[in-house]
């Protein structure tokens, strides 16, 4: 049993906390001195984890059994975020993936993926943000994926949903960064969790040279958080490559809206004619 940490960092709400990456965030954040609210569908697994973390870290741990693709369940978590002023951190982690190409994917399942990876994350963020701004204190950790910048590697809706997480986080950072709110987006590569089995390819079937232990992934992501990173790509050895990617994106901003189409399109506009 580790010694209870007497720090009081407020309450961290973690979605998808019953297993995998979310469960490790729960352990690490309790160890740091956060009380926890753990959200996922499996009430039993949540309770088991809550009991263990309470005993190990001496923190208050509440559980909310909720299917975040269901409006009524999602609304309960939104209400908690709106009303509980102790919440200082929201880890938007719950997510599902897919490995199949478009022609072999069921559109209903794709819509469910968007409901969890995009809609739930958005609604929970909207619920938490006003309180964070009012209290001038709060942080979002939004779990994206490397598929956000490499949508060719997995199911395209998954990549698209994670690109949304990165873009939405960029906007959040832009709008709330100077209002006392921290925003981090994490882009994990392949991480050893049940995610892969659920997505259709058990993690054992991947090239093990690209798979990171979930504990290492979360520890690196939290180190990135401590270092003040906006985007954390745990496996990327040369962090300057992300900075160059970001600079290239921003360098286009002054030029991507204008009255004239680019000359390479050969459009004879009224002004040019």
Backbone angles phi, psi at 267, to 5 degrees: -85, 125
Which region among 5-13, 19-27, 54-62, 175-183 touches ligand NAP (by CB under 6 A)? 19-27
Q: Does 169 bind ligand NAP (CB under 6 A)?
A: no
Under a CB-based contact definition with an 8 Å cutoff, are residues 146 and 188 in contact?
yes
Longest dimension (CA), the chain: 78
Contact between 44 and ligand NAP (CB under 6 A)? no
Q: How far is the CB of 69 from ligand NAP (least distance, A)?
A: 4
CA distance 251 to 246: 9
Distance CA 14, CA 89 (A): 8
Q: Which stretch binds ligand NAP (CB under 6 A): 28-36, 64-72, 123-131, 234-242?
A: 64-72
Q: Which is nearer to ligand NAP, 16 or 151 (CB)?
A: 16
Q: How far is the CB of 195 from ligand NAP (least distance, A)?
A: 3
Instruction: Please name which of 89, 94, 98, 107 lies closest in space to residue 68, comparing C-alpha atoms.
Output: 94
Cα 127 to Cα 218: distance, rounded to the nearest angstrom: 25
Is residue 26 at the binding interface for ligand NAP, with CB under 6 A as the rule?
no
Stretch that binds ligand NAP, among 26-34, 41-49, 55-63, 175-183 (CB under 6 A): 41-49
Task: Please give the Cα distance from 90 to 14 (Å, whole number).
Answer: 6
- Per CB under 6 A, the list member of 11, 22, 169, 224 interacting with ligand NAP is 22
Question: How near is the Cβ of 88 to ligand NAP at its closest, in Å?
Answer: 21
Reply yes or no on whether 265 is catalytic.
no
Among 69, 88, 155, 169, binds ligand NAP (CB under 6 A): 69
Binds ligand NAP (CB under 6 A): choice among 188, 218, 221, 231: 188
Strands (E), 68-127: 87-92
The Cα 215–Cα 227 span in angstroms is 18
Q: How many CB atoms lie within 10 A of CB 62?
A: 15
Stretch in the footprint of ligand NAP (CB under 6 A) among 65-73, 103-111, 173-181, 255-263 = 65-73
Q: Which of 158, 164, 245, 265 is catalytic?
A: 158
HSE-CB of 101 using CA atoms within 13 angstroms: 2
Torsion over CA: 123, 199, 188, 162 (sign): negative
Among 25, 132, 195, 230, binds ligand NAP (CB under 6 A): 195
Tokens of 58: 């001496």
- State the residues that interact with ligand NAP by CB under 6 A: 16-22, 40-42, 45, 67-69, 93-97, 116, 143, 145, 188, 190-191, 193-195, 198
Q: What is the set of active-site residues?
A: 158
């Amino acid at each position: 049993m580790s010694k209870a940490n007497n720090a009081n960092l407020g309450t961290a709400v973690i979605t998808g906390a019953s297993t995998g990456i979310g469960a490790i965030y729960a352990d690490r954040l309790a160890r740091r001195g956060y009380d926890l609210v753990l959200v996922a569908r499996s009430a039993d697994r949540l309770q088991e984890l809550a009991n263990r973390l309470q005993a190990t870290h001496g923190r208050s741990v509440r559980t909310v059994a909720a299917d975040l693709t269901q409006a009524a369940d999602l609304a309960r978590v939104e209400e908690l975020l709106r009303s509980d002023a102790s919440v200082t951190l929201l880890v938007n982690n719950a997510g599902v993936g897919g490995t199949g190409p478009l022609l072999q994917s069921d559109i209903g399942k794709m819509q469910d993926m968007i409901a969890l990876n995009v809609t739930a994350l958005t609604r929970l963020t909207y619920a938490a943000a006003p309180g964070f701004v009012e209290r001038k204190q709060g942080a979002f950790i939004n779990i994206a994926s490397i598929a956000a910048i490499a949508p060719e590697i997995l199911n395209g809706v998954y990549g698209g949903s994670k690109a949304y997480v990165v873009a939405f986080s960029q906007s959040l950072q832009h709008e709330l960064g100077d209002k006392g709110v921290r925003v981090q987006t994490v882009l994990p590569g392949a991480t050893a969790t049940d995610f892969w089995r659920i997505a259709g390819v058990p993690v054992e079937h991947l090239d093990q040279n690209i798979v990171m232990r979930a504990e290492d992934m979360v520890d690196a992501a939290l180190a990135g958080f401590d270092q003040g990173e906006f985007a954390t790509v745990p496996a990327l050895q040369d962090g300057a490559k992300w900075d160059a990617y970001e600079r290239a994106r921003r360098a286009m901003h002054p030029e991507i809206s204008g009255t004239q189409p680019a000359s390479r399109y050969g459009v004879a506009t009224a002004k040019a004619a």
